[in-house]
Amino acid sequence: MVKITFVEHDGSQTEVEAEPGLSLMKAATYGNVPGISADCGGNCACGTCRIYVPAQWRHCFAEPKGNEQEMIEFSEDTTDGVRLACQTKVIEAMEGMVLNLPESQHY
Ligand code: FES
């Protein structure tokens, strides 16, 4: 299991024990992270699983492209390091990772 901490906009934190291979979105929702809505269930169609990845953890993520990039653009969220949690799988290298969450997933 991989420890990942999600930080809400108000600074409150939820630490989850994530199974490698699971999407970050599922890891967050299984861990009852309040700031992830994931309205489409991981189909890259809602943009409500946005996370902000600090620079020191971006090596664990591919650059957003295709549907992920389109949904990020549709959400008009231009925050540095924005990604969709449903489009990245948990890997062992994420141990100790801290991710930030938007003030609201609905725009
Ligand atoms: S859960 Fe809908 S885009 Fe990620």
Write out the residue range of the structural domain in which residue 50 sits: 2-100
SS3 of residue 75 by DSSP: helix
- Whether the model clears a pTM of 0.85, i.e. scores above it, the answer is yes
Tens of pLDDT along 49-100? Answer: 999 999 999 999 999 999 999 999 999 999 999 999 999 999 999 999 999 9
Domain count, the chain: 1
- Give exposure, 28-64, as e/b (b: 16+ Cβ within 10 Å): bbeeebebbbbeeebebebbbbbbbbeeebeebbeeb
* 73 secondary structure, DSSP code: H
CA of 47 to the centre of ligand 1 (A): 5
In a domain, 80, yes or no: yes
Tokens of 79: 């925050």
In a domain, 28, yes or no: yes
In a domain, 35, yes or no: yes
CATH number of the domain at 26, please. 3.10.20.30
In a domain, 106, yes or no: no
In a domain, 105, yes or no: no
Instruction: For a ligand 1 pocket test, name from 37, 46, 67 the mutation site with the most ligand atoms within 8 angstroms of its C-beta.
Output: 46
Please give the share of the chain, as a percent, with pLDDT higher than 70: 99
Instruction: For a ligand 1 pocket test, name from 40, 82, 88 the mutation site with the most ligand atoms within 8 angstroms of its C-beta.
Output: 40
**Nearest CA, atom 3, ligand 1:** 44
In a domain, 107, yes or no: no
- Count other Cβ atoms within 10 Å, centred on residue 1: 12
In a domain, 78, yes or no: yes
| Residue whose C-alpha is closest to residue 72's, from 56, 58, 52 | 52
Tens of pLDDT along 25-60? Answer: 999 999 999 999 999 999 999 999 999 999 999 999
CA of 36 to the centre of ligand 1 (A): 9
